[in-house]
Amino acid sequence: MDSMLASVSTSVTRGSVVSRRVAVGSGLLAVACVLGLIEAAMPGLPLAPWLKLGLANIAVVVALAVADGATAAVVSLGRVVIVGLATGTLGTPVGLIAAAGAIASLGMMWALSSRGDAFSLVGWSAAGSAAHVLAQLVIAGPLVGSWSLMALAPASVLIALPLGALTGYLARTIVSRLTER
């Protein structure tokens, strides 16, 4: 009897953990898509028109902080596919470059987040942002048939670091509000 109750309560707990993850993941995916679409419609930064702020990454960082790497991957890659479909860039070079950036950023942030408390959300996001721009320039090389785009790499990384730190700070602010309750 006891063991049956225990197994029922275990399955209920496991079920609610899965439900919570699905709910958090899909909610954050929706947020990431809206931010991604807003950003797709905006021009680049004034001094560096090839770069954008990376607002959608806020949702990925929050997913990594309140859920796990798998949820963050669904939010990040789901966003790339949905925004790609909506803007007609899925499967085009622009879409491939976006996907490469998202995967590199996700990998970097997941690696830092799995090191316990050594790095905070600000560090994850800043390094993820740098990985994002570098991966984009690397994948753009074969697409345009020249490695000359790597000339943009140092400037891109220098601009990406503070922008990534900013979105990481925004994500941290959101996470602190979420976990207070």
Site residues for another protein per CB under 8 A: 43-44, 47-50, 93-94, 97, 112, 115, 117-120, 122-123, 126-127, 130, 140, 143-146, 148-155, 157-159, 161, 165
Phi, psi values for residue 60, rounded to 5°:
-70, -45
Q: How far is the CB of 82 from another protein (least distance, A)?
A: 20
Nearest C-alpha neighbor of 27 from the set 69, 78, 90: 78
Q: How far is the CB of 66 from another protein (least distance, A)?
A: 19
Which of residues 6 and 158 has its CB atom nearest to another protein in the complex? 158
Which of residues 21 and 52 has its CB atom nearest to another protein in the complex? 52
Which of residues 1 and 43 has its CB atom nearest to another protein in the complex? 43
Which of residues 85 and 144 has its CB atom nearest to another protein in the complex? 144
Mapping DSSP to helix (H, G, I), strand (E, B) and coil, where does residue 116 land?
coil
Over the range 102-111, which residues count as b (16 or more CB within 10 Å of their CB) and which as e?
A: bbbbbebbbe
- 106/114 Cα distance (integer angstroms): 12
